[in-house]
Amino acid sequence: MIEKTAEPVPVLEARNISKTFKAATHEVRALDGVSLSVARGECLAIVGESGSGKTTLANMLLGIYPPSAGEMFLDGQMLPTRRSLPLRRAIQLVQQNPLSSLNPRRTIGASLRLALDVHDIGARQERKTRVAALLDEVGLPAEFASRYPSALSGGQRQRVAIARALACEPEILVLDEPTSALDVLVQARVLRLLDELRHRKALTYVFITHDLAVVRNIADRVAVFERGIMVEMADTETIFTNPGNAYTRSLIGAIPIITDEEEALRKTVLENKSAH
Amino acid sequence: MSDPILSLLDLKLGFKTYEGLVEVLHGISLRIGRGEKVALVGESGSGKSVTARIILGLLQELKSARISGAIHFDGADLEKLSRRERQALRGTRMSMIFQDPTSSLNPVFPIHVQFHEVLRRMDRNLTQRQGMQRAISLLTDVSIPEPERVLQAYAFQLSGGMNQRVMIAMALANEPSLLIADEPGTALDVTVQAQTLHLMRDLVVRKGTSVLFISHNLGVVREFADRVYVIYKGRIVEHGPTDALFGQPRHPYTKALMAAVPRITGGGIPDIPENSEAFLDPMIDHEVEVPA
């Protein structure tokens, strides 16, 4: 899908970014000298366990807080510490738990409408039809606009969260564990929707997760994080057939699997360590 | 399969509400042999956790719960026991491990106090010193490196994985015949989850403890259980030995569950039809045969 020969300007790039949090008695290095770039239309997976710096990275990409050191670029333009409205609009977030990321006192329609109003998207009169179109885009009926989040199932709520991110017509979606709170059947449907949306709307994804089985089926490239350091970055195929890092191998070894073919793959990966 | 440690026969549960009776379990039958590790698999809302709470006798305390059917534990009819007798079983002959270890430990007492409370259920005359020694040996069993230090700590000072090991050690402290594990380790990182599950499996196998393992994660179930029951909307739709069930699922719901799990070998994201009502049709309990 992505041209690998010609190197176009990456849509998003981080150069040597670090983040240090200061506590009363000590400092925590949450992210240490990370450089990565995401090509347009690509799905880059950020993988690691809790405390690895995944969410810190996401927050900095979104501009929620600035890095302690290093720079970030959007379409080749350096991102300032305080971002203007259009810059914020370009990168949108879908969080893990839609029950806490959607306002419980606001109808679905009002939540979607707010995104349109803030960024002044479309003419005022047609925003109502735009809300209906957004719901349709994520496979929900237009009547849902008058409902509250509490009247929706987990999968439906996550679709609303995706619709709200899409409302801003972003270039990049940062997906922070978007399906890990969902049941398996629902997870499969939401993942399929995300995959389809990316291709249909030419979106770029930064997909944060700890679930490597999901990564295998949705990502083009994978960056593995361990305690704030990016320990490996490779295309998805390489990560799963010939990981170069011991931590990556241990992550693959820990995935609960259900078929004999997967068992065989996991075994080869774990035995291959001598090759490196 | 003679003389199971636990058997449920046509277990039904409903909750009385303002809008009438809401039926949650529509007749669950299940048995766990001695030393057997049995999994109950299903999605949220399928009735997994309420089943566990009925076995422990916790839901019986609830006024709005309507329970019928037979529950036999170690030869005794649980419904015939008094409240006190049921209470005496908990933490001694049957015990439970919950999903989130950190929130199921008491935040205001150090670990050793909570251990002592558990151990005193079996031995009223246990001294502080004896309790401490027992706790140290139990924590050593779950491969905790510095048991003395961990015993003095509070739950919030320990990592999730460490708390999970403490919970396992506590649950097995009185050598129960039945351990109920409700989504153990779901709140933990994958590598930590894998480690603690292996540890738990080795320990129950060594001690001959029977286990009811409740989970929505098919991969974890496959690695842990001898036999599997699949529960869907309050009914068992299929059961059988783990390998046979994973090798050849028969019920459309089980098939969909298996198909929905992304594979590390690739193949794309599975296409699961939106209309889940399709699974309702053949609502019977398929028994998967052991292949000859």
Please provide the average confidence, as pLDDT, over all residues in chain A.
Answer: 92
Residue A274 maps to a domain: no
Whether chain B has a CB inside 8 Å of the CB on A262: the answer is yes
Token pair for residue A235? Answer: 């295309």
B11 by DSSP, 3-state: which?
strand
Residue A212 maps to a domain: yes
Question: Which domain, by its residues, includes B107?
Answer: 100-173
The pLDDT tens digits of the residues spanning B23-56 come to 999 999 999 999 999 999 998 889 999 999 999 9
Residue A48 maps to a domain: yes
Asked whether the predicted pLDDT for residue A227 surpasses 80, the reply is yes
CA distance A215 to A232: 15
> What is the reported pLDDT for A8?
72
CATH number of the domain residue A63 falls in: 3.40.50.300
Sort out which chain A residues have CB atoms less than 8 A from B42's CB and list them.
none
A191: nearest CB among B195, B220, B269: B269
The total number of structural domains in chain B stands at 1
Whether chain B has a CB inside 8 Å of the CB on A157: the answer is no
CB spacing of A255 vs B190 below 8 angstroms: yes
CB spacing of A259 vs B268 below 8 angstroms: no
Share of chain B above pLDDT 90, in %: 70
> What is the reported pLDDT for B30?
95
Going from the C-alpha of B192 to that of each of A216, A247, A274, B173, B242, the distances in angstroms are: 21, 13, 24, 22, 23
Q: Which amino acid is at A243?
A: P
Sort out which chain A residues have CB atoms less than 8 A from B190's CB and list them.
49, 210-212, 251, 254-255
Burial string for B31-67 (b: 16+ CB within 10 Å, else e) reads bbbbebbbbbbbbeebbbbbbbbbbbbbbbeeeebeb
The pLDDT tens digits of the residues spanning A51-81 come to 899 999 999 999 999 999 999 999 999 999 9
> What is the reported pLDDT for B275?
63
Residue B117 maps to a domain: yes
Total residues belonging to chain B = 292
Please provide the average confidence, as pLDDT, over all residues in chain B.
Answer: 90
Asked whether the predicted pLDDT for residue B193 surpasses 90, the reply is no
Q: What is the mean pLDDT of residues A27-39?
A: 95
Measured distance between the N- and C-terminal CA atoms of chain B, rounded to whole angstroms: 17
Sort out which chain B residues have CB atoms less than 8 A from A262's CB and list them.
263-265
> What is the reported pLDDT for B273?
74
Q: What is the DSSP letter of B215?
A: E
Are the CB atoms for B118 and B64 separated by under 8 Å? no
Sort out which chain B residues have CB atoms less than 8 A from A266's CB and list them.
264
Q: Best mutation site among B265, B275, B279 for testing chain A: the one with the most A CBs within 10 Å?
A: B265
Sort out which chain A residues have CB atoms less than 8 A from B261's CB and list them.
184, 188, 213, 258
CA distance A249 to B12: 45
CB spacing of B266 vs A262 below 8 angstroms: no
Whether chain B has a CB inside 8 Å of the CB on A240: the answer is yes
The pLDDT tens digits of the residues spanning B214-273 come to 999 999 999 999 999 999 989 999 999 999 999 999 888 899 899 999 999 998 888 887
Sort out which chain A residues have CB atoms less than 8 A from B265's CB and list them.
216, 259, 261-262, 265
ipTM above 0.90, yes or no: no
Are the CB atoms for B174 and B142 separated by under 8 Å? no
B279 by DSSP, 3-state: which?
helix
Asked whether the predicted pLDDT for residue A275 surpasses 60, the reply is no
The total number of structural domains in chain A stands at 1
CB spacing of B263 vs A217 below 8 angstroms: yes
> What is the reported pLDDT for B103?
87
Q: What is the mean pLDDT of residues A137-147?
A: 95
CB spacing of B264 vs A191 below 8 angstroms: no
State the smallest CA–CA distance between residue B94 and chain A in angstroms. 27
Model confidence at B191, in pLDDT bands (50, 70, 90)?
Answer: confident
A210: nearest CB among B190, B220, B272: B190
Going from the C-alpha of B70 to that of each of B9, B85, B95, B237, the distances in angstroms are: 5, 17, 20, 19
Going from the C-alpha of A107 to that of each of A104, A111, A132, A149, B152, the distances in angstroms are: 8, 6, 13, 7, 49
> What is the reported pLDDT for A2?
53
CB spacing of B219 vs A251 below 8 angstroms: no
Question: Which domain, by its residues, includes A208?
Answer: 12-102+170-241
Going from the C-alpha of B277 to that of each of A185, A212, B232, B281, the distances in angstroms are: 13, 30, 11, 8
Asked whether the predicted pLDDT for residue B208 surpasses 60, the reply is yes
Instruction: Write out A186-240 in H/E/C secondary structure.
Output: HHHHHHHHHHHHHHHHCCEEEEEECCHHHHHHHCCEEEEEECCEEEEEEEHHHHH
Q: What is the mean pLDDT of residues A144-148?
A: 96
> What is the reported pLDDT for B236?
94
The pLDDT tens digits of the residues spanning B130-165 come to 999 999 999 999 989 899 999 999 999 998 889 999
> What is the reported pLDDT for B292?
45
Q: What is the mean pLDDT of residues B193-206?
A: 91
Residue B63 maps to a domain: no
B219: nearest CB among A50, A250, A257: A257
